[in-house]
Amino acid sequence: MSDEDDSGIELGEGEPVEGAPLARVSARLMWGIEKSTIVDREGETQIRTPDGPRPLADILDEVDRTYFDTQQTFHDAVEPVIGHGAVPTADSDETEPSE
C-alpha cells in the first residue's frame, strides 16, 4: 500500500482554536525549573483557556510557586488559574450564523 492510496484521517471543518495547549508548552521545558525561567522562555506564549487565550506570563503571575520540580507540579499549579471547560474557537464571538 502506498502513501498516496492511504487517505488518512480526515479532520473536522471547525473553527481554529487560538493559543497553545498547556501540555504542549510544558513539554518543551526541562524539569525542575524556576518560574522566572519559564517566563523568560515561554512567557509570551498564548495558552488556551476557557476565557480565551492568555499569555503564560500573566497566568504565572497568579501562581504562588516559584519552582516546579516536575511537569505535573507545574500543571497542578497552573490549571486552577486557567480553569476547566470548553475552549472558545477563533470565531466564537459570533452569536448568529451569517447568511
Q: Where are the domains of the chain?
A: 22-82
pLDDT < 50 positions in the chain: 1, 94-99
The sign one gets for the Cα dihedral 68, 25, 41, 16 is: negative
At position 14, the amino acid (one-letter code) is G
* Contact present, 82 and 54 (Cβ < 8 Å): yes
Report the C-alpha gap between 61 and 36 in whole angstroms.
10
* Contact present, 74 and 68 (Cβ < 8 Å): yes
pLDDT for 85 equals: 80
Average pLDDT of the chain, as a whole number:
85
Report the C-alpha gap between 68 and 25 in whole angstroms.
14
pLDDT for 89 equals: 73
Report the C-alpha gap between 54 and 88 in whole angstroms.
12
* Phi, psi torsion values for 68, nearest 5 degrees: -120, 115
